[in-house]
Amino acid sequence: MGYHSSIAQVADSAMIPRTLFSSEHETFRASVARFMEQEVKPHDERWQEQGYVDREVWRKAGRNGFLCLSMPEEYGGAGADKLYSMVLIEEQARANNSSLGFGLHSEIVAPYLLNYGGEALKKRYLPKMASGEMIGAIAMSEPGAGSDLQAVKTSAIRKGDAYLVNGSKTFITNGWNCDLVIVVAKTDPAKGAKGTSLLVVDTGMRGFAKGKRLKKIGLKGQDTAELFFDNVEVPAENLLGEENNGFIYLMQELPWERMQIAIAAVAKSEAAIAWTTEYVRERKAFGRTVASFQTTRFRLAELATEAQIARVFVDRCMELLLANRLDTATASMAKYWTSDLECKIVDECLQLHGGYGYMWEYPISRAYVDARVQRIYGGTNEIMKEVISRSIGLGDQK
Ligand SMILES: Cc1cc2nc3c(=O)[nH]c(=O)nc-3n(C[C@H](O)[C@H](O)[C@H](O)COP(=O)(O)OP(=O)(O)OC[C@H]3O[C@@H](n4cnc5c(N)ncnc54)[C@H](O)[C@@H]3O)c2cc1C
């Protein structure tokens, strides 16, 4: 049984029907799956070895209309609804690809530009981001500040028509391939969060430098890097929105950013169950298939049940998101719970593969190492629980 047919089988059997997608979304899904198979899979091993993807795959994705899907057409996007982005995230997860940083580029960086950038800035960057000529990154985290973004030290001090940016960032996705970075910096260091702004730094600007690509336990084909800013002169028009309002803008985008992680987590969990179902049907031990042991079947039955619960919850959250009714706490529940579940499912599925599960040629091994970061980035799961506890009336406990 082929890899995709087995996923389809798991999806078709014992499934509460999904109601989110139209036939156009499903046609799009098929074209993304084809792209993953034809344009991504043949290169992916090399990308993992080199630690970054070829720029050509970005341009190919752009030509196929896979970048900045929800961007209005006047800026080079497809003007599509977020369900197309959801399909793209799901298919990338099902293809077990963790090298492409498309989601961050299209669904986090580009929307900040669209929502808060001036017209000149949007015209300069967005069409090139949609075509894949320019790659975007967002730099919040620093060596000394991750969860606590109020502790950001990078500064952007206004000097005439420009801001002088100084500081360093770390763990930046697309950091090595990127052409533009949205930088979180203090424009008024004395004011903490209320002195934070977002600026677009063009990586060609003098004083900007990319550091080393960071070696990671997973996401090996993704270029996670350090960035350095040494008196980078950034034109004032590259400020997003209003000075000192950066934190407010960061908060507004959180539900969708967190849902992207949850969407990938559920799709990867379903894929892991499908690979494992296929594997245990064929693998023999003690003269019978591993699937014939009741403990195996019960384990997979439990995992399929939990993945189903996650699927229904995430789909419902997306319905609310599309209606602009998804709050940050509920999106945080989805991010925390599904990424924890993903880690549990890939771990159990790896176990059912025995020693082969530990071998790189089996997709479950890669899914296992890739899953771990889902509980860390996009706000750690502990921070998610902080947000949730506040929403149930447990904020500011002494
Ligand atoms: C592969 C990868 C890609 C990334 N991509 C990006 C990117 O593109 N852009 C970007 O800006 N950042 C990126 N990050 C950074 C990521 O967002 C941070 O690592 C994350 O927010 C956690 O910050 P930290 O690493 O500083 O951990 P810390 O904040 O130092 O946390 C350490 C531990 O303390 C816990 N903790 C902290 N505060 C609290 C609290 N109040 N209550 C309870 N527990 C707490 C945390 O949950 C964690 O377990 C990436 C990280 C990785 C690993």
As a whole number of angstroms, the distance between CA 171 and CA 215 comes to 10
Distance (Å) from CA 158 to ligand 1 centroid: 29
Ligand 1 midpoint to CA 257 (Å): 15
Q: What is the pLDDT of residue 3?
A: 42
> Tokens 């003269």 belong to which residue?
287
* Atom from ligand 1 closest to the CA of residue 219: 1
**What is residue 2's predicted lDDT score, i.e. its pLDDT?**
40
Rounded to whole angstroms, how far apart are CA atoms 211 and 228? 7
pLDDT at 396: 77
Question: In this predicted structure, what is the pLDDT of residue 15?
Answer: 84
Q: Which atom of ligand 1 is nearest to the CA of 218?
A: 1
Cα of 375 from ligand 1 centre, angstroms:
9
Q: Which residue out of 135, 171, 258, 260 has the highest number of ligand 1 atoms within 8 Å of its CB and is therefore the one to mutate?
A: 171
Best residue among 377, 384, 385, 388 to mutate for probing ligand 1's pocket (most ligand atoms within 8 Å of CB) is: 377
Q: 343 C-alpha to center of ligand 1: Å?
A: 17
Q: How far is the CA of 121 from the centre of ligand 1 (A)?
A: 30
Catalytic residues: 257
| 136-139/180-186 β-pairing | parallel
| 379 alpha carbon – ligand 1 mean position (Å) | 6
Ligand 1 atom 6: residue of nearest CA: 172
Q: Which residues contact 295 (CB under 8 A, 6 or more apart)?
A: none
Q: Are 331 and 259 in contact (CB under 8 A)?
A: yes
Tell me the two tokens of residue 295: 């403990």
Residue nearest to atom 25 of ligand 1 (CA): 146
Phi/psi of residue 347, each to 5°?
-65, -50
Q: Going by CA atoms, what residue is nearest to atom 40 of ligand 1?
A: 383
Q: Nearest Cα to 314, choosing from 268, 262, 267?
A: 262
Over its length of 398 residues, how does the chain's per-residue pLDDT go in tens digits? 344 444 444 455 668 999 999 999 999 999 999 999 999 999 999 999 999 999 999 999 999 999 999 999 999 999 999 999 999 999 999 999 999 999 999 999 999 999 999 999 999 999 999 999 999 999 999 999 999 999 999 999 999 999 999 999 999 999 999 999 999 999 999 998 999 999 999 999 999 999 999 999 999 999 999 999 999 999 999 999 999 999 999 999 899 999 999 999 999 999 999 999 999 999 999 999 999 999 999 999 999 999 999 999 999 999 999 999 999 999 999 999 999 999 999 999 999 999 999 999 999 999 999 999 999 999 999 999 999 999 999 987 77
Backbone angles phi, psi at 164, to 5 degrees: -95, 115
Ligand 1 pocket check: which of 141, 223, 385, 387 to mutate, most ligand atoms within 8 Å of Cβ?
Answer: 141
Residue 74: count of CB within 10 angstroms of its CB: 11
In this prediction, residue 14 carries a pLDDT of: 61
Which residues are near ligand 1 (CB < 6 Å)? 104, 138-141, 146-147, 171-173, 216, 219, 224, 373, 376-377, 379-380, 382-383, 386
Q: Which residue has the tokens 């399909």?
A: 87
3-state secondary structure the chain: CCHHHHHHHHHHCCCCCCCCCCHHHHHHHHHHHHHHHHHHHHHHHHHHHHCCCCHHHHHHHHHCCCCCCCCCHHHCCCCCCHHHHHHHHHHHHHCCCCCCCHHHHHHHHHHHHHHHCCHHHHHHHHHHHHHCCCCEEEECCECCECCCHHHCCCEEEEECCEEEEEEEEEEECCCCCCCEEEEEEECCHHHHHHHEEEEEEECCCCCEEEEEECCCCCCCCCCCEEEEEEEEEEEHHHEECCCCEHHHHHHHCHHHHHHHHHHHHHHHHHHHHHHHHHHHHHCEECCEEHHHCHHHHHHHHHHHHHHHHHHHHHHHHHHHHHCCCCCHHHHHHHHHHHHHHHHHHHHHHHHHCHHHHHCCCCHHHHHHHHHHHHHCCCCCHHHHHHHHHHHCCCCCCC
C-alpha distances out from residue 129 to 68, 122, 132, 193, Å: 7, 10, 5, 29
pLDDT at residue 354, as a whole number: 98
Distance of alpha carbon 89 from alpha carbon 308, whole angstroms: 18
- The structure's pTM equals 0.96
- Which residue's C-alpha comes closest to atom 30 of ligand 1? 146
